[in-house]
Structure 1
Amino acid sequence: MNFTLIAARRVALACALVAAPMCAFTAERVIEPARTSAGAKPDAARTAKDRPMASTRTVAEAATATAASGVTPLTLERVFGDPPLQGRLTRQAEISPDGAWVSYLRPSATDSEQLELWAQPTAGGAPHRLVSASEVLGGRSQQLTEAERMALERKRITQGGITSYQWCGPDGRTLLFPLSGDLYLVRLTAEGPRAQRLAHDEQVPEQDPSCSPDGRQLAYVKGGNLWVQALDGSAARSLTQDATETRFWGLAEFIAAEELGRQRGYWWAPDGRRLLALQVDEAEVPVKTRAQIFADRTNMTQQRYPGAGERNARVTAWMLAVDAPAGTVPRPVALPLPAEAEYIARAGWFGDGAPWLQWLTRDQKRLALTEFEFESAPAPAPAPAPAPAPAPALVAAVAKGRIVIDERDPAWVDVHDDLQEIGGLTLSGRPALLWSSEASGRRQLVLVDRKTGRRQALTNEPEAVAHRVCSNGDTVVYAAARDRGRSRELFAIDLQGRSRALDGAADRQWRDARGDRECARLLVTRAAWAQPPRLLLQDVKAGAAPIDLPGDAPDPLLARIAPQPQVVEVTAADGRTALNALYFAPLDGQPGPHAVITLAYGGPGIATVNWNWHRDTALIAYWQRRGFGVFAVDTRGMQNRDRDFTRAHLNAFGVVDVQDLFAAVRQLPQRVAGVDPRRIGFFGWSYGGFLAVRAMLDADTPFAAGVAGAPPTDWTLYDTAYTERYLGLPDQGRAAAYRQANLVSRVDQLTRPLLLIHGTADDNVLFEHTLRLTEALQQQSKPFDMMIYPGKAHGITGRGPRLHLYRMIDAFFVRQLAP
């Protein structure tokens, strides 16, 4: 789930509003009368079935009305058309190791679903397309194995073409990228970019490639084993040879990639002579069989998927020698962790060559950083004659671990990527460690003595620090929240705690950045409401003018249709906690009161109401022109706030979030004029889909209709790390937190129109969730609507399918929320 977002990155249950081709079931609706509270007028309780539907207007009529009112018309075809209204946005932008280039992936001018590799000089000059998939494949179609498709799903990459790349070596002249199961280099020469194919085996792909620090060789996973290959044309050689159907090296297991934000399974040592590698054994992970139902076939796919309370993969850490002398056999050295270490969340190397691991207990209330030292052990004696003597073995070593940092929280500890050595500060004879902690009540950066574990505060921001951007010897650059989490700004702080906002700070914007190797220049992403992100090259030091990196300009239509948000001050169900909410008034030129579509995610790890660019901008503008108000709200438990706010989901899925959602929706007509409280709908995806179903399965619901995309309906079916973090162990579903969050057991409370949407090949929120809910609704003879998407996963892709989805949702809301 994501999602992502996603992000702290992890991103939990990604909030994706996406879809794909159709396979529909629509039940004839016979709605039971809604309950009427004492003293309420009978009309106020009328259901969608009771209300006349003859007054709904066609899209053409709505467009005519908006044009007559002086409002620029907008169609769903343009919202989801190509080129995108926001322009072709870049992704994975980086500064080259030598600082001479800015590289990024950019959608093709002929098909925005295909990514190409581009770069432009930092000293000024036009961007250059380095390579595209069609050029290197030479007419061959792009092929992906199921494992590769699942890996892209974990990273929330929905486009094709060149989907990832990396700079190879310190000179800034070579880039590496995988494509269609093989590996390619792009060398920047005086004659232009030159592509080179490194592998020729599409049947067994080279996965997750990574260049050594000196850029002379690369490692990758092939057939479940780790391989290394020099870039001078030498043959590849394998470092491991014991992979099986359930055991593999160097790749992130499902839980790490989906829920912990760790996408890698091995890391180069600073000297390039060793690898820290993880071995994953999935033998005890339960097998889930997914029926990938396509229009013309059904593929039965088996997936090792650990549901809540079930066995996780067994992950162990090892040190592998890369530069073994000729005639020797490198022996993996185990990096032992305590038995309570259920998850390896992060891994890497300190500058002095010591490997480290960050690990979590299963309940995720403890996150520890362990570093390792080595003691030599004698090599085993060769076998006696006449048996042939083995090849000379490397001197073995025994690793001993020592806990450096021990972070604990009575609810859960969030993983992060803020660990870094600070060369400008020595504590107990070693560089200080940068770390982040919520022990103060909101996430802040601290400095840690690597030898003693003692901490000293570095930042004291009034709101939560989002993450470290980069650091050099005496300065740390970081991003932090402002405006109650609705804005994000960039700051620099010295080791004495003196901080300053970086040039360009402003109200109601969202800035983030990546730093170069010296943390002297930043690649800043700046966005604001209805303003797509743009890239700037900016010095960390104050006063230097930023360089605006030219990108694909938005369609001028975007500026004409961009919706103007109204900040709505609403409080949570506790009556005191402020929630972030925005309202977008209808623009159909008709007198009110109007129907409202509510958008919310509600789950942990994500925030949706802020001043960042939102991909739903054009959709909101479309619904305004259709005569709907749009209400967006973040409930307690969501991201970018203090610790007490973000821990609201502890043992409370479907409780605090539902209470806050209901409270906010009931306050809306008091805060905003022209809202019809009888005609408020709700739309959510993933955790938002769970919230949508839960909101409709409630006798006290304020919603007249709901749309739920890919909803988790029984949390015992969802994965271990995400679910247990918030709800604990399920006790086979008998635990109170699981019982109250189970939607299947609430189906008797459905009295309003509900539309369910799911992709049949979803490997995140398995299609079984919707099937169980569907069966329960049918057993209760409860009418509902349903749309399934054959062969589509959790993040469903394709312009045609997305257009189909929103046409369907639009028609559903027009039909059910008609006056």
Structure 2
Amino acid sequence: MRFSKILVLLMMMAASVATSQEKNITLEEIWSGKFSQQHLQSLQSLNNGVEYVVLNHDPDSGNSSVDVYSYETGEKTRTLVDTKDLKGLKSFQAFSLSQDESKMLLATDPQPIYRRSSKAIFYIFDIKSKKLTKLSDKKVQEPTFSPDNSKLAYVFENNIYVYDVAGHSEKQITKDGKVNSIINGVTDWVYEEELGFVRAFQWNYKGDKIAFLRFDEAKVPEFSMDIFGGGLYPSELVFKYPKAGEANSEVSLHMYDVASEESTEINLGDDKDFYIPRIKWTNKDNVLSVQVLNRHQDQLDLIFVDAEDYTTKVILTEKDEAYVDVTDNLTFLEDNSFIWTSERDGYNHIYLYDENGKLKSQVTTGNWEVTNYYGYDNKSNRLFYQSTENGSVNRDVYSIKTNGKGKKRITEKTGINNADFSADFTYFINAFTSTDTPMQYTLHLAKNGKLVREIKNNEELLEVEKPYHFSPKELSTLVVNGNELNMWTIKPSDFDASKKYPLLMFQYSGPGSQSVSNSYFNTNDYWYQLLADKGYIIACVDGRGTGFKGAEFKKITQNELGKYELEDQIAAAKKLGELDYIDADRIGIWGWSFGGFMASNAILKGNNTFAMAIAVAPVTSWRFYDTIYTERFMTTPQENASGYDENSPINHVDKLKGDFLIVHGSGDDNVHLQNTMRMVEALIQANKQFDWAIYPDKNHGIYGGNTRLHLYTKMTNFIKEHL
């Protein structure tokens, strides 16, 4: 009897231990940040190349400081500014150094405008004298020192101003700026969103000229959104948004002469319907480089402008049957020869041209992609870049001479390696991750990749995860429609190949994107672990149109956005459904943004394959989306009506058979709620039953407070009920 009691007790203890070790993840844990990886704060290298600066905040005092650290040791060496030593400024949220690092701009009370743009109150801090000067009582945009620090240029209410630092006086150099009409010196909505920059002015090296862009939005149609807020009446946000085929801003290039206080418009040709995606001063005195892209985005001209007589010369023309990618890779060397990247041989590679645009060498070559260009070190005559030479799901960092010789791989581990170089290319900080390794940060010598020290890892996260027995993210490939596609899979931790499991597929599928890589779990992956605990298999397949496998693979979708991508998702689902352990009658799909567009198409055009779909913030008709993005891949609706309409889910609502959930934020300035509202109306008129949810005033990311927890609870319940 005593033995039996001991045996029962031991069995209960064992069960208790097993229970404590095999925890099931919850949505509350995921969205509380419990499984967040620690990341290295964004560093800014000093000119000396051996030190970097970091913005620190003291949570107890509320003070802010910019501190200097040694790359080699990681120890703090000194402090450039600390608000505890300043009168009239308690804290600041951002900073920037002047070119010679003698002065600093401190930003306070920032106010976001769109995705990248904001305005703030700025202070000028002189590092040597410790003097603090308020730039203006107004919230301004993009203040930038002249090269000699004697002046600042900034934008206020769509006009450019020049501020004299010594005299504490400002001069307004453009006068026609007006909201929703004329913009000087910063970009309009569509440039900011799709061409990725806000500041549209540049000082020359002498500080006596300012090149700037002017946007005339007069002909651009307005879009409006109600902001419901908490008051009795909603307010209205009205902004210029050019939808595909509609009028863009008329953009022009201007040159301001500081001495004469006069501006001159630069003639860039007779065509007025074009983009200016980049301006950059060359290393030759008073020669500005301008990139001009035609509206179809299949021809880009690199033009040099003489800032003395304002003459122009086309130096290089890049053409593509589909589209030309705009990058920030243009780098001018001491003799004004320049580095350029191009897909002209079928893969993205690095090229070197002389100052007249004559090709000197193709620096990199091979059936792989250069995925990041880090810069050029003139001391060693070496370029630094990241590539897929070790497979499209991996990234490694290399250096190479400008003649294409002496290539060195300077990272060792297989996975995703991202480098951040010091200003003089003495060091680089490597951020490494793989499917079984959360982010690790290490310091290396740039000349050979030698490890200097470990900086930060996420071993604590691995300890937090241990009791949950998470399933690995398995990387593989799947042959679909004659192409070998990258795939990851997450299975239940107690997976039994003799059983049948429902399958949920995730995808994004947008042009040039990648969802399958050799990297550790992101937040959604923890949600997939929760679903796996509930008996689902989750898979993701990167089909045609995605990136890093060559231009042909990426650009096959031209003029038919959604056609080949959908064919690959349907074919992949069918192939996976043939596996003994997949229930082919219980396959679902979900996605966000472009992925929401794809999920919507999948439940309609793939109605015999997919039983369920969730579409978050989807494009439902490409006619509703902006010019630059949509026309890059589709030309205009006037030229390609069938491409737009045949591949837009709003025109296929009659095909709905499965269970469909559509979700949108009412404050989405990117993919407008219009997409979902028009889709909902079409589904209603087709007498199709579906579920939908609108999140008030939430933008494209649908977040804030408990919003994400609520959204993922809704999606989890929908999957459990319908798959």
Measured against the shorter chain, the TM-score band is 0.7 to 0.9
Asked whether 1:260 is paired with 2:209, we answer no
Question: Deviation of residue 692 (structure 1)?
Answer: 0.6
Partner of 1:520: 426
What code does the residue aligned with 1:361 have?
N
Question: Deviation of residue 358 (structure 1)?
Answer: 0.5
Q: 1:195 & 1:549 partners in 2: Cα distance?
A: 34
Asked whether 1:89 is paired with 2:39, we answer yes
Paired-residue identity, %: 26
Q: 1:370 to 1:464 in 2, by over 3 A?
A: same
Q: CA deviation digits over 1:240-289, x for unaligned, max 9?
A: 22212311211022222111223321112122232211111111101111
Q: Which of 677, 680, 689 is residue 584 of structure 2 equivalent to? A: 677
Partner of 2:536: 628
Q: 1:233 to 1:554 in 2, by over 3 A?
A: farther
Question: Deviation of residue 682 (structure 1)?
Answer: 1.2
Q: 1:707 to 1:284 in 2, by over 3 A?
A: same
After alignment, is 548-557 or 783-792 more displaced? Answer: 548-557
Report if aligned partners of 2:122, 2:134 keep a CA contact under 8 Å in 1.
yes
Q: 1:584 to 1:248 in 2, by over 3 A?
A: same
What code does the residue aligned with 1:517 have?
A
* Residue correspondence of structure 1 range 320-339 to structure 2 within 5 A: 320-322=256-258, 324=259, 329-339=260-270
Q: 1:544 to 1:216 in 2, by over 3 A?
A: farther
Asked whether 1:399 is paired with 2:318, we answer no
Q: 1:659 to 1:189 in 2, by over 3 A?
A: same
After alignment, is 406-415 or 447-456 more displaced? Answer: 447-456
- Between the two proteins, the alignment pairs up a number of residues equal to 687
Report if aligned partners of 1:69, 1:589 keep a CA contact under 8 Å in 2.
no
* Residue correspondence of structure 1 range 87-236 to structure 2 within 5 A: 87-90=37-40, 92-104=42-54, 120-126=69-75, 162=93, 165-171=95-101, 174=104, 176-177=106-107, 179-180=109-110, 181-185=120-124, 196=132, 198-199=134-135, 201=137, 204-232=138-166, 234-236=168-170
Q: Structure 2 stretches of 5 or more lacking a match? A: 1-14, 111-119
Partner of 1:150: none
Report if aligned partners of 2:408, 2:448 keep a CA contact under 8 Å in 1.
no
Report if aligned partners of 1:103, 1:119 keep a CA contact under 8 Å in 2.
yes
Q: What secondary structure sits across from 2:669 in the alignment?
A: coil
After alignment, is 264-273 or 562-571 more displaced? Answer: 562-571
Q: Which of 264, 278, 281 is residue 349 of structure 1 equivalent to? A: 281
What code does the residue aligned with 2:486 have?
N
Q: 1:571 & 1:408 partners in 2: Cα distance?
A: 32
Q: CA deviation digits over 1:200-219, x for unaligned, max 9?
A: 53xx5211222333444432
Partner of 1:792: 698
What code does the residue aligned with 2:52 have?
V
Partner of 2:212: 277
Report if aligned partners of 2:438, 2:457 keep a CA contact under 8 Å in 1.
no
Report if aligned partners of 2:597, 2:619 keep a CA contact under 8 Å in 1.
yes
C-alpha RMSD over aligned residues: 3.3
Partner of 1:449: 354
Q: CA deviation digits over 1:695-728, x for unaligned, max 9?
A: 1112544212111011011111111111111111
Q: What secondary structure sits across from 2:451 in the alignment?
A: coil
Q: 2:38 & 2:422 partners in 1: Cα distance?
A: 24
Report if aligned partners of 1:684, 1:691 keep a CA contact under 8 Å in 2.
yes
Asked whether 1:421 is paired with 2:353, we answer no
Q: What secondary structure sits across from 1:668 in the alignment?
A: helix
Question: Deviation of residue 616 (structure 1)?
Answer: 2.5
Q: What secondary structure sits across from 1:487 in the alignment?
A: coil
Q: 1:240 & 1:635 partners in 2: Cα distance?
A: 48
Report if aligned partners of 1:217, 1:231 keep a CA contact under 8 Å in 2.
yes
Q: 1:486 to 1:196 in 2, by over 3 A?
A: farther
Report if aligned partners of 2:291, 2:302 keep a CA contact under 8 Å in 1.
yes
Q: CA deviation digits over 1:629-660, x for unaligned, max 9?
A: 11011111111120101102201122101100
Q: 1:609 to 1:552 in 2, by over 3 A?
A: closer
Q: 2:493 & 2:98 partners in 1: Cα distance?
A: 52
Report if aligned partners of 1:226, 1:238 keep a CA contact under 8 Å in 2.
yes
What code does the residue aligned with 1:654 have?
G
Question: Deviation of residue 580 (structure 1)?
Answer: 0.7
Q: 1:135 & 1:697 partners in 2: Cα distance?
A: 63
Partner of 1:61: none
Q: Structure 1 stretches of 5 or more lacking a match? A: 1-63, 143-160, 376-397, 424-429
Report if aligned partners of 1:441, 1:642 keep a CA contact under 8 Å in 2.
yes
Q: What secondary structure sits across from 1:682 in the alignment?
A: strand
Q: What secondary structure sits across from 2:262 in the alignment?
A: coil
**TM-score of the two chains, using structure 2 as the length reference:** 0.87
Question: Deviation of residue 450 (structure 1)?
Answer: 2.2
Report if aligned partners of 2:283, 2:333 keep a CA contact under 8 Å in 1.
no
What code does the residue aligned with 1:668 have?
L
Question: Deviation of residue 67 (structure 1)?
Answer: 6.3
What code does the residue aligned with 1:623 have?
L
Q: 1:549 to 1:319 in 2, by over 3 A?
A: farther
Q: Determine which structure has greater relative contact order: mean sequence separation of CA pairs < 8 Å that are 6+ residues apart, divided by chain length.
A: 1
Q: 1:538 & 1:564 partners in 2: Cα distance?
A: 29
Report if aligned partners of 1:363, 1:724 keep a CA contact under 8 Å in 2.
yes
